[in-house]
Structure 1
Amino acid sequence: MKIIALLFLLLPQLLIAQVVTISGSVRDTRQQAVPFASVAVPGTALGVTADADGHFSLPGVPANAVLRLQASAVGFAPVVKNVEPVAGLRVDFTLMAATAALTEVVVTGVGRATEIRRSPVPIAALSKREMQLNANTNAIDAAVRGVPGLSAVTTGPNISKPFIRGLGYNRVLTMYNGLRQEGQQWGDEHGLEVDNYDIDRVEVVKGPASLLYGSDAVAGVVNLLPALPSGPDGQLRGEALAEYQSVNGLFGNSLGLNYQKNGFQTSLRASYRLAHDYRNAVDGLVYNTGFRELTVTGMVGVQKNWGSAHFYLTAYDDHQGIPDGSRDSLSRRFTRQVGEGPADDIKNRPLVTDRELQSYQISSLRQHIQHYRLFNRSTFHLGEGELRLLLGVQQNHRQEFNHPTAPSQPGLDLRLTTYSYDARYLLPAWHGLEITVGGNGMTQVNRHQDATDFPIPAYTLADLGGFGVVKKAFGALEITGGLRYDTRVVRWADFYVAPNPATGFSGAAGAGTVGSELPFPSFRNTYQGVSASLGGSYALGPRLTLRANVARGYRAPNIPEIGSNGLDPGAHIVYLGNRDFQPEFSLQEDVGVLWQSPNWEASAEIFHNYVQNFIYQARLFDAVGQPVELVPGNATYQYQQAAARLYGLEISVNIHPAALPWLSWRSGAALVRGLNENAQLLERLGAAARYLPLIPPPQARTELRLTAPVHASRLADTYFRIGLDGVARQNQFYAVDGAETATAGYVLLSLGAGTTFRTRAGRDAVQVFLQADNVLNTSYQAHLNRLKYFEYYTASSNGRSGIYNPGRNVGVKVVVPF
């Protein structure tokens, strides 16, 4: 912090870098103007929108430093040019009407802006346009559709937790515009507190990213990026959005505004979504899966010759039903809890009425999540170098109401406050070396409020790490390597729980309280780890690129893994931790081949990942093989630690013939295998313990898209598409004590269409998207659907067990840009 303060004091002397203005035009292959295309320097706030004639002027560009300048527009493949800005420089772009992605520039997981095909680390990107084509309930579901190797654990339609190559929870770092997401993400039923409509782009790093981000990025990174203002100077721009989805009656509305003038930039978005219980052909309407969500996002900043500074403020408020899956044994209709403890007869609960199932009113058994962020992203041009800073604070207040006899009394009530900081300096290029050095970390304070259930202790956490990354080009070969050191201190004091006569439930108490217990004795530990990465890419001509990377990742155990000792009411699971756990260390090797031509592009990636001290959950059984229920009606899971091995591959092919510019055929497939290397468990239980839990089955997706040629008509971007999602049967699962079961394979058909109505001046007036998912109303259970295991009976009247995934869903989305 002293160094950062000193830099601010020296800024008046340092910020004297010469800047220039770059102008030019954006045209298609027929040399027709591409109106309102975006021209930007990825990874910075430098960007501008071309006018209706395709002309642009980008001021404030630092001179004498080689930059990557990217032009992009909907329906065209982005084009990147390396430029050395000088006074009077003109750059003209020619965009091809294609969907190529390998030339896209990403900023996540690399020290500097890098083309996807030249990154040694496998990275994928998904644009807002691609997300808008689908009827998604959240940003993670949208990314899963477009990124092979990315999957999600789900608890109903609005809760999805990202898994990358078979690893998830705290092993995947989720970020909002570079700020790590911290919101009790250890729970199955804990979703992401972001506005789905606000996301302009998703970037996914597949593989250890601990080098740049430290602990919790051992499996990869999902970075959700909002858009910066892009309209002409002095004009208020924005969009209004309305959406409906049939499977759960979802109504979504969003209004976004943005404005910029003379370097000043500001934006504001407010979104509201409301849904009742979702439907499928087996279960009908699934009780208590509705939600009500309100988000507000604001930004204000400046873009000047010296750099940029942007401040973000977000507010998120969500009421989410908590399903438990209880039913009538004969009719299989859902029932609801009305009593507690001995008064709760699970097999004789009252039936949920049709009116309740179709109501938009959220049940009294629900989650209430409030999440607030305030952070700053700044960039300072220091001569030919660049300093980037991120400072932020966020607070997550999570309440889970699980007492039907006291609806206003939360069971879980946690308030997590996180202070994050990141500083990195991009040194000027020296003899072809691009060097980035920096450090980042966070401080956390998590406290129980008015709770009756205490699955984890109240704790304090301090995290700090420093890194260095070096990149060097040797002709067609680019080498990137780096090293990082992290330290994390976790501590909590003795935490007592005792009966509270005023409420009739348990509550936090002092050491001398009558009847008090000590579920969380005091704890303090320091975790340390070294991360490293070395890789490169080699261009065998303009079309074929080879790349390889080896990385060592580090992850400190999270709080539930070391400190759990209680019921998580939203998950209906009692978790037990282990205070003696050691950090996880992974060693992953990646090899990839990428091909790009005017007619098609393809990529193939294979990986192998060996994890030391791998931590996972295992259901607890007693000596005679019966499930342990420390709290009646709730399963008990205990965290385990052993070695693990994961390997697999991802393949994608995108065919877009130059002779048929209206045709695009995309296909992708992913396979991951997870092996348990716990020798003692394997010797005792054999094949049942061979595989790791929560490994997605092999899956593939193919989509044929037809896009109408661009003419002088009032319609643009008109498309029709048909897609198939195929998921194989999962026979390789963690079968110890029935913790997981085999999952049948399935194929889902989807259809989509849309168009854009334009004004006479050529500007978009209305965008319409129609989408039908699971067109044949197939009954299926995804292997990572947590509701699959919500079953109270060993046999059912219809032969079906657990809760099924959503059925047919028809969605319509209307966007009105202005």
Structure 2
Amino acid sequence: MVRLLFLVFFIGLFGVRSADAQTATDCDCFVKGVVKDRETNLPIAGALLSIKNTAKVAVTDAEGHYRIERLCQGNYVLECKIIGYKTARSTISLQHSAEENVNLNEDEVHLQDVEIVARRLSSLTQPAASLQNQALEQTRGQTLAGALQKIAGVTMLQTGASIAKPVIHGLHSNRILIINNGIRQEGQQWGSEHAPEIDPFIAKRLTVVKGAAGVRYGSDAIGGVILVEPAELPYKAVSVGGEINTVGFTNGRTGVLSGTLEGGINKWKGFGWRVQGTLKNGGNIQTPDYFLANTGVREQNFSVSGGYRSTKLGAEVFYSQFHTNLGIFSGSHIGSTSDLLNVIKNGEPFIKADFTRTIERPNQLVDHDLLKLKVYHQFSGNRVSLTFGRQYNQRAEYDLHGPQAAIKPALLFRITTLTGDMVLEHKPLKEITGQIGLSGLHQYNFTDGRPLIPDFEQSNAGAFVIERLVRQKWEWEAGLRYDLRWLHVYRFTGQTLDQRNHQFNSWSGTVGSVFNANARLVFRTNFGTGWRPPSVNELYSKGVHHGAAAYEEGEATLQPETAYNLQGNVEYTSERFRAEIGLFHNSIRNFIYLKPQPEPILTIRGAFPYFKYVQANATFSGADITTEWNMAPRWEHTGKISYLRAYDQAANDYLVAIPANRLENGFRYQISDAGPLHDSFVSIGHLWVAEQKRVPPNSDFMPPPAAYHLWSLQVGGDILLTEKQKITWDITAQNLFNAAYRDYLNRFRYYSLEQGRNVSVRLKWSF
């Protein structure tokens, strides 16, 4: 079966080469020209030119020149755009070649500010992938980590059925930065069950930047960056619009309702506003054989934003509140060591539950407030922006046992974070464009309840520079950054206050290139370094972590991690076929991880698996492959392969808790393109996840689970109501055949199976 799936994938990867080669010999036309500013008559570097309805693109060099090759004879629409100028379009007729010069008029910034962060300030030479439009719509109602699994190389670390956080090339938690609407998301992300406190409905696009990105984003970004990007505010809207999303899931009988309302202000040109909110309610999740007790979820989220934008000035304010109540599977809390070992041996909970929406102990109550203020000013070809953020995160964890467990949280974390960034994007210096920036962070955390982690105060300061050079088919990029971090820890030993101070500092660097061999083939290479100081839980945690159903112990002598990341990426695009192959090697000195201990530990709160934080020199190597093939009219095949190998060099053995290799295949048939059922389709997908055999012997409480196959079926489309209104719908069946399986990256795989079949219905009314 697996061999057949690989065969299907590689037929898609290589089977269209001969047809593409034949087309290429018949289509040797090209268009070239120069892009200039209409007022100053100066060349514009970095403008993007594209041939509409094709994959042909080009970027202007330092003198404003561009060239798009391998076009067939015919009529085309040439589009030219760049931030700060109005988009220009012109019709060209090709017999052999044409010269089309473009003069651009200066305009307001067209992309919403966070998109500028994602596209202009992140590395252009690092591989990145985005979820947007229909691909993003089909994930509505899922967690952020669940949605991002559609991107090759991204998996998720789970704690039961309702808590998940994203994993990029085997790295997660404090090694992955999440930029939420331009603000570095800061909460209690150090825990494996501390999922990102973000409502995915605020995003118009989710982007994953793979590899060390510490130069632009600072320490901790040694595994990658996730950009949660809202749509731009409707600054020019003359009427109120929005959308209403409803999602229903059969498994857990979960319902989701989310709405957005937005518009401009007619009397005040350049102002825009948006209000958004989400409600979610679900009950016990069901495996193929039984319900999982106390796995319900409640969410109430909202956000409001407003802004002003003109040619030279702009400002935006954004506020969001995230609130959730998460049940923790009660079958993971066991009274004795022998009972724990029996549950792990049998793989089933002692007590089988029925369906209920009631959330009892153990559970988590999480609140997260985020306030953002951003202003920018453009002058003499430069742009300076200031961004300030304040976040407050409160997490209350309630135990299953104890005389006051129902009224008083066993653990209460309250963390406040203040961030500030200043970025100058300077005008071109001959052939060089770039950015210079300063960033700062101040954070303080108070902990009540039993001593798992101590109170702490943390401050960060950093400065960076990133410069870019474009010459003909080559793009070069280099950057350098310096960071300082101060960590002050306050903990009690009996009645005595024990204060510990730590100071960390390091450089980060990046250098990369892009070679546009022709209109179809692009090569990217990037070498980056990053670092991450140990977090307070890795240094000082000691006790039962009920959310993770584990006893965790830190080590105060841990040293900062240092990463050296090398990546290569090849992209090939033709009229019918697209392929992207990425290779990576990440060497991390002093890699910190939770190592399972030989035996569980018995505490006054029950028996739990026992983990300690240790360090090793580790390497993470692998490949991501993505293909898209228009096999025939209305038929499309997509394929993804993710291969990862993680190694402990000191122990001369593999690492634990590393994602298994996986293969995906999907077939889609376009039923109709127009009419009442506009853009309707049906698709079938298959996911194969291998058994993780690369683990040290006797390194976990349970061997890695067997490989598994999951099938999905989806049908959907649009119903056009009026020119401005439509209903988007889809029905999806995940785990179509109700397979019984366990995932290696689920911390609760010791106690139960994964959830069974789950049918979802999505409806979106856009108006």
- TM-score interval for Structure 1 and Structure 2 normalised by the shorter chain: 0.7 to 0.9
- Aligned counterpart, 2:216: 212
Alpha-carbon distance in structure 2 between the residues aligned to 1:394 and 1:537:
37
Contact persistence 1:68–1:113 (CA under 8 A): no
Aligned residue among 722, 725, 734 for 1:764: 725
Cα deviation digits, residues 711-763 of structure 1 (max 9, x gap): 3x23312111111111111111244443562221111111111121112x433
The partner residue of 1:142 within 147, 153, 177 is 147
Tell me how far 1:639 sits from its aligned partner.
0.7
**1:670 aligned to 2:642?**
yes
2:327 equivalent to 1:321: yes
- Of the structure 1 ranges 533-542 and 127-136, higher mean CA displacement relative to structure 2 is found in 127-136
Inter-partner Cα distance in structure 1 for 2:397 and 2:113: 36
Residue by residue, what CA displacement relative to the aligned partner does 1:345-383 show, whole Å, maximum 9, x if unpaired? 9999x98675xx322121132100011000123332122
What aligned pairs does 1:78-157 form with structure 2 within 5 A after superposition?
A: 82-83=80-81, 90-91=88-89, 113=119, 119-134=124-139, 136-145=141-150, 147-157=151-161
Distance 2:431 2:635 in 1: 41
- Cα gap change, 1:106 to 1:271, in 2 (>3 Å): closer
Q: Cα–Cα, structure 1 residues 473 and 232, in superposed 2: closer, same or farther, change >3 Å?
A: closer
Gap change, CA 1:607 and 1:402, over 3 Å in 2? same
**Aligned partner of 1:605 among 561, 572, 582:** 582
Partner of 1:633: 607
Deviation at 1:565, TM superposition (A): 2.0
SS of alignment partner, residue 130 of structure 1? helix
Equivalent-residue separation in structure 1 for 2:154 and 2:559 (angstroms): 27
Match of 1:718 in 2: 680
Relative to structure 1, is the Cα distance of residues 277 and 360 closer, same or farther in structure 2, using a 3 angstrom cutoff? same
Amino acid aligned to 2:409: P
CA deviations over 1:505-528 (Å, ceiling 9, x no partner): xxxxx53xxxxxx7xx32101111
| Amino acid in structure 2 at the alignment position of 1:258 | E
- Corresponding residue to 2:239 among 235, 238, 249: 235
CA–CA distance in structure 2, aligned partners of residues 341 and 784 of structure 1: 25
Matched, 1:269 2:218: no
Instruction: State the match for 1:705 in structure 2.
Output: 668
Deviations 1:628-683 (A, max 9, x none): 445541232211012001100011111126x72x332111111000001224xx5x
Give the whole-Å Cα distance in 2 for the aligned partners of 1:114 and 1:555: 24
Conserved 8 A contact 2:121-2:216: no
CA contact (8 A) 1:666 1:702 kept: yes
- Structure 1 residue matching 2:219: 3-state secondary structure: coil
2:526 maps to 1:549: yes
Matches within 5 A, 1:56-455: 68=47, 82-83=80-81, 90-91=88-89, 113=119, 119-134=124-139, 136-145=141-150, 147-230=151-234, 233-261=237-265, 262-282=269-289, 284-325=290-331, 354=353, 357-404=354-401, 405-406=403-404, 407-448=406-447, 451-455=448-452
Given that 1:321 and 1:366 are in contact with CA atoms closer than 8 Å, whether structure 2 keeps it comes out as yes
Q: How does 1:781-796 map to 2 (within 5 A)?
A: 781-789=742-750
CA pair 666-351 structure 1, distance change in 2 beyond 3 A: closer
Give the distance between the partners of 1:230 and 1:613, measured in 2 at CA. 47
1:650 is matched with which residue? Answer: 624
1:607 is aligned with what amino acid? F
Q: Are the structure 2 counterparts of residues 737 and 699 from structure 1 closer, same or farther at C-alpha, using a change threshold of 3 Å?
A: closer
Does the C-alpha gap of structure 1 residues 651 and 811 become closer, same or farther in structure 2, counting only changes over 3 Å? same
Residues 548-578 of structure 1: CA distance to partner in whole angstroms, max 9, x if unpaired? 1111111111111112122222122222112
SS of corresponding position for 1:280 = coil
SS of structure 1 residue aligned to 2:529: strand
The answer to whether the Cα contact below 8 Å between 2:177 and 2:225 also exists between their aligned partners in 1 is yes
Distance in structure 2 (CA, Å) of the matches to 1:322 and 1:254 = 25
TM-score relative to the length of structure 2: 0.83
Query: Does the aligned pair in 1 maintain the 2:594–2:612 contact within 8 Å?
Result: yes
CA gap of 1:90–1:698, structure 2 versus 1, over 3 A, is: closer
Contact kept, 8 Å, 2:421 with 2:438, in 1: the verdict is yes
Q: Partners in 1 of 2:189 and 2:174 — Cα distance?
A: 7
1:754 to 712, 716, 720: 716
| Contact 1:403–1:411, Cα closer than 8 Å, also in 2 | no
Structure 1 segments unaligned to the other structure (5+ residues): 1-60, 95-104, 327-335, 498-509, 512-517, 683-689, 790-801
Q: Report the Cα distance in structure 2 between the residues aligned to 1:809 and 1:586, rounded to whole angstroms.
A: 39
* In 2, Cα distance between equivalents of 1:561 and 1:86: 45
**C-alpha separation between the residues in 1 aligned to 2:238 and 2:114?**
31
Quick check: 2:453–2:537 contact (8 Å CA) kept in 1?
Answer: yes
Structure 2 vs 1, CA of residues 589 and 341 (structure 1 numbering), >3 Å: closer, same or farther? closer
Deviation for aligned residue 1:292: 0.5
Contact 1:270 / 1:296 at 8 angstroms: preserved in 2?
A: yes
Amino acid at match of 2:465: G
CA distance in 1, matches of 2:715, 2:504: 52
Displacement of 1:63 in angstroms is 10
Matches within 5 A, 1:408-557: 408-448=407-447, 451-496=448-493, 510-511=495-496, 521-557=498-534
Residue matched to 1:615: 592
In structure 2, C-alpha distance between the alignment counterparts of 1:82 and 1:425, rounded to whole Å: 25
Q: Offset at 1:83?
A: 4.3
Residues 740, 215 of structure 1: alpha-carbon distance in 2 compared, 3 angstrom cutoff = farther
Please give the secondary structure, in 2, of the residue aligned with 1:694.
Answer: coil
- C-alpha distance 292-581 of structure 1, shift in aligned 2 (>3 A): same
Deviations 1:670-723 (A, max 9, x none): 1000001224xx5xxxxxxx1112211110111111223433x23312111111
- Please say if residues 108 and 204 of structure 1, whose CA atoms lie closer than 8 Å, have aligned partners that are also in contact: no
Q: Distance in 1 between matches of 2:202 and 2:115?
A: 22
2 CA distance for matches of 1:215 and 1:728? 33
Q: Kindly indicate whether the alpha-carbon contact (under 8 Å) linking 1:111 and 1:469 is maintained by their aligned counterparts in 2.
A: no
Is there any run of 5+ residues in structure 2 with no aligned partner, and where?
A: 1-39, 59-78, 93-110, 344-348
Question: C-alpha offsets along residues 42-94 of structure 1, whole Å, 9 cap, x if unaligned?
Answer: xxxxxxxxxxxxxxxxxxx9998657579999x99898855479999743599
Contact 1:137 1:157 in 2 (8 A): no
Q: Which amino acid aligns with 2:610?
A: T
Q: How far apart are the structure 2 equivalents of 1:710 and 1:725?
A: 28
SS at match of 1:522: strand
Q: Is the 2:55–2:574 Cα contact (8 Å) retained in structure 1?
A: no
In 2, distance between residues paired with 1:85 and 1:218? 29
- 8 A Cα contact 2:115 2:229, kept in partner: no
Identity percentage of aligned residues: 25
